[in-house]
C-alpha cells in the first residue's frame, strides 16, 4: 500500500510506457516488505534537467534510465562511475552526499549468467550444470533489514580485471555481433571475464575503427579488442567460445529473423555459449538455431533481471534482493509461464 511515507523509485524515458522494470521491481519490493514504490516517469528529452531537479525536490531515492537519456544525463550528474564512463552511458542513478550519481549495471547483468550455477525456476540457457562457463542465475534470499536513509558516500568502485567466481576465461574467445551501445557493455564484461580475444563485428569500417579507438584511453582500457566487418563472421564463429548478439535483428515482431545465416551458424562449436540480448521472442531464432547445433543458449531476459537486481541493491542499500521473484514477475508479465 502506498502511504505518505512511501519512498519513490522509478524509470525515466521517452516513451516509457512499455518498460518492464516496474513489474519486476515492485514484485521485489512487495516481497521484501519495504516502504517503496517504483513508477514509470515519462520525461521528454528537453525536460531532463528539470526532471532531475524535481526528483531531488520531492525526495526520489533513485531511478533507472532508458532511451533516449542514457548518454544525455552524463553532464547533469555530480558523479559518474568509471564503468559508466567506459561504456559511455548511465542506466542507474542514485542519491549521494554530493548529489545524483550515475552508474551502469548492464555489465553486471550481462556477466551474472556466465558466472553462476544454473538455478530453477529459470527455463532457458545451458542444460548441462557441470561446467563453470554455462548458463546460470544468481538467486539470493531476501533481506528484511530496514533501509538506511543516509546517502551513499560515493559512486561504486570500478570493476576489477578478471571474472568473479570459479570460471576460467583466460583462454576463451568472445565474438560480439554489433558495435552500438549494448556492445560496449558486452565488451566491458568480456574484458572483466579476462577473455584472451574479444572480436566485434559491424558493418561500417569507420564506425568499427572509432569503436576500437574509444577503448584505448578508456577508464577501462581493453587491449585485446579486434574489429571486423561481417564478411569475416564465418571464420570468427568457428573460433568463438562465446557468441553474443547485441543487434536488434530477430526482435519482435520480426522474430523469424536471425543475425547469423544458417551456413554461418553451422560453424559454431558444440558447447559454445550463444547469448542473445533480445528477450522477446523467447527464445529468438538465433538461439534456436544455435541450440540445434549443440550450443548453450542464454537469452536477454536474465540480463534484464540481473541488471535490475544490481540497481535495486544500490537503492535499498542491501547486499541481496529476491532475484527469483523479479525473474518470475517478468516471465509472467511476458506470458512465458
Q: Strand, coil or helix: what is 22?
A: helix
**Does residue 98 contact residue 78 with C-beta atoms inside 8 Å?**
yes
**Does residue 232 contact residue 203 with C-beta atoms inside 8 Å?**
no
- Measured CA to CA, the distance from residue 282 to residue 76 in angstroms comes to 36
Sign of CA dihedral 199, 83, 170, 136: negative
Contacts of 161 (CB under 8 A, 6+ apart): 191, 192, 194
- Measured CA to CA, the distance from residue 58 to residue 71 in angstroms comes to 24
**Does residue 110 contact residue 185 with C-beta atoms inside 8 Å?**
yes
Alpha helices in the chain (DSSP H): 21-32, 48-58, 82-87, 106-115, 181-193, 205-214, 233-239, 262-265, 285-292, 300-316, 323-333
Query: Which residues share a beta bridge with 226?
Result: 199
- Measured CA to CA, the distance from residue 36 to residue 26 in angstroms comes to 8
Catalytic entry in 44, 49, 70, 318:
70
Is 98 annotated as catalytic? Answer: no
> Which residues are the active-site residues?
70
Amino acid at each position: 500500500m502506498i502511504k505518505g511515507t512511501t519512498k519513490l523509485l522509478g524509470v525515466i524515458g521517452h516513451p516509457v510506457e512499455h518498460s518492464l522494470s516496474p513489474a519486476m521491481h515492485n514484485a521485489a519490493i512487495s516481497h521484501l516488505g519495504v516502504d517503496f514504490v517504483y513508477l514509470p516517469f515519462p520525461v521528454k528529452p528537453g525536460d531532463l534537467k528539470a526532471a532531475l531537479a524535481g526528483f531531488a525536490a520531492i525526495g526520489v531515492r533513485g531511478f533507472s534510465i532508458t532511451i533516449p537519456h542514457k548518454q544525455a544525463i552524463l553532464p547533469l550528474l555530480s558523479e559518474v562511475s568509471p564503468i559508466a564512463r567506459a561504456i559511455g552511458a548511465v542506466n542507474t542513478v542514485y542519491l549521494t552526499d554530493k548529489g545524483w550519481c550515475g552508474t551502469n549495471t548492464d555489465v553486471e547483468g550481462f556477466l551474472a549468467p556466465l558466472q553462476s550455477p544454473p538455478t530453477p525456476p529459470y527455463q532457458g540457457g545451458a542444460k548441462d550444470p557441470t561446467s563453470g562457463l554455462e548458463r546460470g542465475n544468481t538467486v539470493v534470499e531476501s533481506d528484511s533489514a530496514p533501509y538506511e536513509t543516509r546517502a551513499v558516500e560515493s559512486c561504486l568502485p570500478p570493476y576489477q580485471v578478471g571474472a568473479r567466481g570459479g570460471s576460467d576465461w583466460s583462454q576463451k574467445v568472445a565474438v560480439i555481433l554489433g558495435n552500438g551501445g549494448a556492445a560496449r557493455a558486452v565488451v566491458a564484461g568480456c574484458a572483466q571475464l579476462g577473455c584472451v580475444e574479444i572480436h566485434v563485428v559491424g558493418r561500417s569500417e569507420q564506425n568499427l575503427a572509432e569503436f576500437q579507438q574509444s577503448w584505448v584511453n578508456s577508464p577501462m582500457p581493453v587491449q585485446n579488442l579486434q574489429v571486423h566487418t561481417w564478411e569475416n563472421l564465418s571464420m570468427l564463429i568457428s573460433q568463438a567460445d562465446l557468441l553474443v548478439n547485441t543487434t536488434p535483428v530477430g526482435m519482435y515482431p520480426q522474430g523469424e529473423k536471425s543475425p547469423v545465416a544458417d551456413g554461418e551458424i553451422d560453424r559454431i562449436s558444440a558447447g559454445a555459449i550463444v547469448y542473445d540480448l533480445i528477450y522477446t521472442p523467447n527464445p529468438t531464432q538465433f538461439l534456436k538455431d544455435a541450440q540445434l547445433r549443440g550450443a548453450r543458449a542464454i537469452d536477454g531476459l536474465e540480463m534484464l533481471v540481473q541488471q535490475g537486481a544490481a540497481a535495486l541493491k544500490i537503492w535499498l542499500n542491501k547486499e541481496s534482493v529476491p532475484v527469483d521473484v523479479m525473474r518470475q514477475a517478468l516471465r509472467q508479465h511476458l506470458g512465458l509461464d
